[in-house]
Amino acid sequence: MSADSDRVGIGVIGCGGMGMAIVSRVLARDKRFEVTAVYDPDERSVARALGEISTHPDVCTDHRAVVDRPDVNLVMIASWNRFHADQTVDAFHAGKHVFCQKPMATTIEDCARMQRAWRESGAKFTLGFTLRYAPHYRKIQQLVASGAIGDLISLEFNETIDFNHGGYIMGDWRRLRENAGTHLLEKCCHDIDLINWITASRAKRVASFGGLDFFVPEGESHIERIGPSPDGKEPFQTWRSLVGKNPFTSDKDIFDNQVAIIEYDSGVRAAFHANSMSAIPERRMYLQGSEGAIRADLRTGTIELRKIGWDTPTLDEGLGRTDGHGGGDDILADELVASTLHGTEPSAGVLEGLESTATCLAIDEAADTGQVVGMGRYWGAFN
Ligand SMILES: NC(=O)c1ccc[n+]([C@@H]2O[C@H](COP(=O)([O-])OP(=O)(O)OC[C@H]3O[C@@H](n4cnc5c(N)ncnc54)[C@H](O)[C@@H]3O)[C@@H](O)[C@H]2O)c1
């Protein structure tokens, strides 16, 4: 593509919530972008997408029909995670640029296949690591990289999600590892990516414990205890869902709470906490360096920085409260448009995707086996 292109055809694979959230932003940014084809096996998603797209795209019966079309230049994938690899590889083989939602894939072998196909194609790959684009996290990364707290020594971070959000996940396709990978991979791959970026290092070894303790059949009484929301919706069911199963009795094999520790090549040590039934949702970080500390939370938009010392002031570096993605979706769409038209490198692509996936998979191996897992085998899968 070039800046002079008068038309950029988009093929959409997976027309659900986060597919259309990014597609609609791209369409709003540059009139040259136009959706020419869509594929989604669920006709409700297709119908909703056609209602949002004014250009009457063709509805294809499989993803290959989308990627092979000559009027598709950019393939935008937001299907279930298990399909990301095949769909991305086929798009690269067809010579198309790819935007793919996170996580990159659900296995290390799939990440390696995607990396090979990307290299061979010479096309651009943008990964939907929305939070990398959020000004809140860009600010934290810049502060650490500029030495504002000295050398990073250790840190903690979390993603504790609202009980209704947790209920949605436990009733949705993501409740099963075969569709989405683990909860850590599906949801917290963002958070692991942020820490990979901020530490500017790769994990060396990891350990973890996790389990399913709240969204179990014996917990169903929480529905009655909490009662309907102020606007009359069932508790744990207020999020949009195509499936909408009872989150307590649904079949599932993901955790609803997990802790992990990571030691990085750089020597930095990190502790992570995830849970899915939170009363006080947070996406918080506490970063300790040799000269100071940063405490930040995306949900409140706060970033505090204080240098080690007797009466050092606490500096307010916060950028304020925004949406759940910290405004990252809009900036991601800006960069995706620029990358497609001008060939600029996206802020998150293949390397970031496979590093986050590998770290998440190793953490889950540690949780499933009860062992400390060294990362050598994972890093050895890539070149
Ligand atoms: N970047 C972010 O912050 C963010 C946030 C939420 C979700 N996501 C990611 O976006 C992707 C979609 O999640 P969602 O929240 O939009 O879910 P969703 O359930 O709203 O949409 C998923 C869609 O994929 C479709 N689908 C299933 N199998 C398919 C296949 N083989 N080919 C094409 N489409 C298929 C489903 O029918 C559904 O319409 C996931 O990978 C998820 O991890 C990213």
How confident is the model at residue 95, as a pLDDT?
98
Mean pLDDT, rounded, for 350-375: 98
Q: Which two tokens stand for residue 236?
A: 């744990």
Residue 39 CA: nearest ligand 1 atom is 33
Q: Ligand 1 centre from 293 Cα, in Å?
A: 37
Q: Report which residue type is found at 199.
A: T
Q: Ligand 1 centre from 243 Cα, in Å?
A: 13
Residue 127 has pLDDT above 60, yes or no: yes
Residue 158 CB-half CA count within 13 A: 20
The model's pLDDT over 228-260, given as tens digits with 9 standing for 90+, comes to 989 888 889 888 766 678 999 999 999 999 999
Residue 4 has pLDDT above 80, yes or no: no
Q: Report which residue type is found at 374.
A: G
The single-letter DSSP state of residue 281 is -
Backbone angles phi, psi at 71, to 5 degrees: -90, 15
Nearest to residue 268, comparing CAs of 155, 107, 99?
Answer: 155
Residue 128 CA: nearest ligand 1 atom is 1
Residue 5 has pLDDT above 80, yes or no: no
How confident is the model at residue 105, as a pLDDT?
98
Residue with CA closest to ligand 1 atom 21 = 16
Using a 6 Å CB cutoff, which residues line ligand 1?
13-19, 39-42, 45, 63, 78-81, 83, 101-102, 128, 130, 173, 186, 242, 325
The single-letter DSSP state of residue 94 is T
Residue 15 CA: nearest ligand 1 atom is 39
Q: Which two tokens stand for residue 264?
A: 């990085």
Share of the chain above pLDDT 90, in %: 92
Residue 230 CB-half CA count within 13 A: 0
d(CA 182, CA 191): 14
Q: Ligand 1 centre from 266 Cα, in Å?
A: 35
Nearest to residue 348, comparing CAs of 337, 358, 340, 356?
Answer: 356
Nearest to residue 364, comparing CAs of 275, 258, 216?
Answer: 258
Q: Ligand 1 centre from 115 Cα, in Å?
A: 21
Q: Ligand 1 centre from 147 Cα, in Å?
A: 38
How confident is the model at residue 176, as a pLDDT?
97
The model's pLDDT over 313-322, given as tens digits with 9 standing for 90+, comes to 999 999 999 8
Q: What mean pLDDT value characterizes the chain?
A: 96
Residue with CA closest to ligand 1 atom 9 = 101
Residue 22 CA: nearest ligand 1 atom is 1
Per the DSSP assignment, residues forming a β-bridge with 304 are 295, 316
Residues whose CB falls within 8 Å of the CB of residue 209, separated by 6 or more in sequence, listed in order: 258, 259, 367, 370
The model's pLDDT over 301-358, given as tens digits with 9 standing for 90+, comes to 999 999 999 999 999 999 999 888 989 999 999 999 999 999 999 999 999 999 999 9
Threshold 0.95, pTM exceeds? yes
CA 14 to chain centroid, in Å, comes to 16
d(CA 206, CA 363): 6
Q: Ligand 1 centre from 371 Cα, in Å?
A: 32
Q: With cut-offs at 50, 70 and 90, classify the pLDDT of residue 1.
A: low
Residue 50 has pLDDT above 70, yes or no: yes
Q: With cut-offs at 50, 70 and 90, classify the pLDDT of residue 2.
A: low
How confident is the model at residue 383, as a pLDDT?
75
How confident is the model at residue 100, as a pLDDT?
98
Q: Report which residue type is found at 85.
A: A
Residue 143 has pLDDT above 80, yes or no: yes
Residue 184 CB-half CA count within 13 A: 28
Asked if residues 214 and 276 have their Cβ atoms less than 8 Å apart, the reply is yes
Query: Domains in the chain and their CATH numbers?
Result: 8-130 (3.40.50.720), 132-329+357-379 (3.30.360.10)
